[in-house]
């Protein structure tokens, strides 16, 4: 058996106010007077104090990101072209992604495409990226996805929603400043936070689990309990670390049934990752009985009401497409059931689960 040779983020800064050290990080990369940095920032921050704190210099490029839709390959290609036109043949010395999972993924993707020609869709898959990316920095402003820690950038392409998975995708630097996640709207805070909680439940109950992934997953899970079921003054710190550790856990294990079903919801119905996971997870009592029970306590505590009966108006063709997308997530189902998963994951099972949501 061959074990995974797992690349992690080599440098990270953690702590309140650490955003201000971004300037020091970029100074190390800036060597010549015309060296420039590209800031890709969630446009939610355009009218917020963070804008004034960006350490951008006159020669830099700041782009405000529209994350109404989750990142598409076409959007990433357009941004890459914008950066190339701005640089007139010269690449930036660093690309800084600031925001949630969407903005972090866009930051990773643009850094990769600046050195790998041909467009994002041609790199959706595993280890298709050939050249190292431009230096790239990730700064989360909402926590849960683990995108700050992972070796993927999830993109919706012309025919699939799939990440560009590679060692080159991993950030060179992350800055985790709990101050930045203050002020996230409650529902979104909950949905993105639950992505982390669900990563842990799926990893810890999966067949791929091992002591490495368990060590991170259990601690992340404990932090999620503290954040979502208790009241702590430092819950922003806790959620930030939970997200990072959840990401580390699944990097060495795998997610499961909830993510497999949620990918279908997202592809056919356009649900965003966090809320899609919540809708799917709420139907998975048979898979994760304890996890789902605790999840409902969390929903209650924070007065979150999930949409119900979301699949009732789907056409047969749409339902079939969702079933096809979900059953195509082979490693996820393998993690749930083991190598004989194909006998268990029937169209009838998936249809019945979708109809429960
Ligand atoms: P997001 O980045 O889509 O942001 C959700 C909303 O929160 C947006 O409206 C955004 O503007 C807003 N927001 C962000 N920071 C804010 C702040 N400080 N204050 C107020 N509003 C703020 O949400 P997400 O759940 O973090 O990310 C979802 C995306 O991440 C999906 O595209 C998913 O596929 C991807 N993802 C990637 C990985 C990975 O490993 N690369 C893992 C899981 C999910
Ligand atoms: Zn997830």
Q: Quick one: 38 and 171 in the same domain?
A: yes
Q: Quick one: 176 and 190 in the same domain?
A: no
What's the CA-to-centroid distance between 66 and ligand 1, angstroms?
11
Tell me whether residue 292 is in a domain. Answer: yes
Residue of the CA atom closest to atom 34 of ligand 1: 154
pLDDT of residue 4: 86
pLDDT of residue 2: 87
Measured from the CB, is residue 322 less than 6 Å from ligand 1? no
Structure tokens at 249: 């856990």
pLDDT of residue 113: 98
Q: Of 298, 302, 256, 250, whose CA–CA distance to 280 is shortest?
A: 256
Residue of the CA atom closest to atom 40 of ligand 1: 147
pLDDT of residue 338: 97
What is the ipTM, given to two decimal places? 0.99
Residue of the CA atom closest to atom 30 of ligand 1: 101
Measured from the CB, is residue 237 less than 6 Å from ligand 1? no
pLDDT of residue 162: 87
pLDDT class for 9, splitting at 50, 70, 90?
very high
CB of 93 closer than 8 Å to CB of 30: yes
Is 90 exceeded by the pLDDT of residue 265?
Answer: yes
Q: Which long-range contacts (CB under 8 A, 24 or more apart) does 200-204 make?
A: 200/224, 200/246, 200/249, 201/256, 201/258, 201/281, 201/288, 201/291, 202/250, 202/254, 202/255, 202/256, 202/257, 202/258, 202/259, 202/288, 202/335, 203/246, 203/249, 203/250, 203/253, 203/254, 203/255, 203/256
Residue of the CA atom closest to atom 38 of ligand 1: 147
User: Which neighbouring-strand residues pair with 155?
Assistant: 162
Measured from the CB, is residue 70 less than 6 Å from ligand 1? yes
pLDDT of residue 48: 94
- Which mutation among 138, 145, 202 tests ligand 1's pocket best, with the greatest number of atoms within 8 A of CB? 145
Residue of the CA atom closest to atom 21 of ligand 1: 184
Which bound ligand lies closest to the C-alpha atom of 72? 1
Q: Quick one: 201 and 296 in the same domain?
A: yes
Number of domains in the chain: 2
pLDDT of residue 149: 97
Atom number in ligand 1 closest to CA 103: 2
13-50: per-residue pLDDT in tens?
A: 999 999 999 999 999 999 999 999 999 999 999 999 99
CB of 229 closer than 8 Å to CB of 223: no
Q: Quick one: 211 and 103 in the same domain?
A: no
Q: Quick one: 126 and 77 in the same domain?
A: yes
Residues 6+ apart with CB under 8 A from 117: none
CB neighbourhood size of 150 (10 A): 26
Q: Quick one: 157 and 190 in the same domain?
A: no
What's the CA-to-centroid distance between 191 and ligand 1, angstroms?
10
Q: How far, CA to CA in Å, does 239 sit from each of 105, 106, 189?
A: 19, 22, 10
Q: Quick one: 29 and 97 in the same domain?
A: yes
Is 90 exceeded by the pLDDT of residue 344?
Answer: yes
Measured from the CB, is residue 278 less than 6 Å from ligand 1? no
Q: Quick one: 246 and 152 in the same domain?
A: no
Q: Quick one: 42 and 96 in the same domain?
A: yes
Measured from the CB, is residue 44 less than 6 Å from ligand 1? yes
CATH, residue 245: 1.20.1090.10
Q: Quick one: 214 and 139 in the same domain?
A: no
What's the CA-to-centroid distance between 283 and ligand 1, angstroms?
23
What's the CA-to-centroid distance between 195 and ligand 1, angstroms?
10
CATH, residue 155: 3.40.50.1970
Tell me whether residue 4 is in a domain. Answer: no
Tell me whether residue 346 is in a domain. Answer: yes
Atom number in ligand 1 closest to CA 182: 18
Residues above pLDDT 70, as percent of the chain: 100
109-165: per-residue pLDDT in tens?
A: 999 999 999 999 999 998 999 999 999 999 999 999 999 999 999 999 988 888 999
| Residue carrying the six token digits 């040779």 | 5
pLDDT of residue 1: 79
The residue out of 160, 181, 202 marking a domain boundary is 181
Is 90 exceeded by the pLDDT of residue 194?
Answer: yes
Q: Quick one: 105 and 209 in the same domain?
A: no
What's the CA-to-centroid distance between 263 and ligand 2, angstroms?
10
213-250: per-residue pLDDT in tens?
A: 999 999 999 999 999 999 999 999 999 999 999 999 99
Measured from the CB, is residue 178 less than 6 Å from ligand 1? no
Measured from the CB, is residue 156 less than 6 Å from ligand 1? no
Tell me whether residue 2 is in a domain. Answer: no
CA angle 111, 113, 115 (to 5 degrees): 85
What's the CA-to-centroid distance between 147 and ligand 2, angstroms?
9
What's the CA-to-centroid distance between 200 and ligand 1, angstroms?
18
Tell me whether residue 162 is in a domain. Answer: yes
The angle that helices 186-204 and 211-229 make with each other, rounded to 10 degrees, is 150
Measured from the CB, is residue 97 less than 6 Å from ligand 1? no
Residues 6+ apart with CB under 8 A from 35: 29, 59, 92, 93
Domain that residue 67 falls in: 11-181
Which bound ligand lies closest to the C-alpha atom of 147? 1
pLDDT of residue 146: 98
The residue out of 181, 203, 234 marking a domain boundary is 181
The residue out of 165, 181, 197 marking a domain boundary is 181
pLDDT class for 261, splitting at 50, 70, 90?
very high
Q: Quick one: 130 and 221 in the same domain?
A: no
């Amino acid at each position: 058996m061959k074990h995974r040779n797992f690349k992690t983020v080599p440098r990270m800064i953690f702590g309140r106010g650490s955003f201000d050290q971004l300037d020091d990080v970029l100074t190390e990369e800036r060597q010549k007077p015309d060296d420039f940095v590209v800031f890709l920032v969630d446009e939610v921050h355009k009218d917020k104090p963070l804008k004034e704190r960006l350490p951008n210099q006159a020669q830099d490029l700041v782009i405000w990101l529209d994350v109404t839709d989750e990142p598409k390959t076409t959007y990433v290609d357009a941004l890459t072209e914008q950066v190339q036109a701005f640089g007139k043949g010269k690449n930036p010395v660093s690309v800084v992604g600031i925001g949630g999972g969407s903005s972090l993924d866009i930051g990773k993707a643009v850094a990769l495409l600046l050195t790998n020609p041909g467009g994002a869709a041609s790199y959706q898959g595993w280890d298709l990226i050939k050249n190292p990316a431009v230096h790239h920095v990730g700064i989360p402003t909402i926590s849960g996805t683990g995108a700050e820690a992972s070796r993927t950038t999830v993109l919706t392409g012309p025919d699939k929603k799939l990440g560009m998975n590679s060692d080159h995708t991993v950030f060179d630097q992350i800055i985790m400043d709990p101050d930045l996640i203050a002020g996230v709207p409650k529902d979104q805070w909950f949905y993105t936070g639950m992505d982390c909680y669900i990563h842990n439940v799926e990893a810890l109950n999966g067949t791929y689990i091992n002591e490495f992934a368990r060590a991170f997953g259990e601690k992340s899970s404990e932090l999620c309990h503290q954040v979502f079921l208790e009241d702590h003054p430092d819950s922003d710190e806790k959620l930030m670390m939970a997200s990072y550790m959840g990401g580390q856990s699944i990097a060495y294990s795998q997610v499961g049934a909830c993510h497999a079903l949620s990918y279908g919801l997202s592809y056919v119905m356009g649900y965003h990752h966090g809320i899609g996971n919540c809708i799917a997870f709420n139907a998975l009592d048979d898979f994760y009985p304890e996890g789902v029970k605790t999840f409902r306590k969390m929903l209650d505590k924070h007065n979150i009401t999930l949409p119900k009966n979301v699949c009732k108006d789907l056409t047969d063709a749409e339902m079939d497409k969702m079933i096809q997308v979900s059953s195509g997530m082979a490693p996820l189902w393998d993690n749930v059931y083991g190598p004989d998963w194909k006998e268990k994951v029937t169209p009838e099972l998936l249809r019945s689960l979708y109809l429960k949501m």
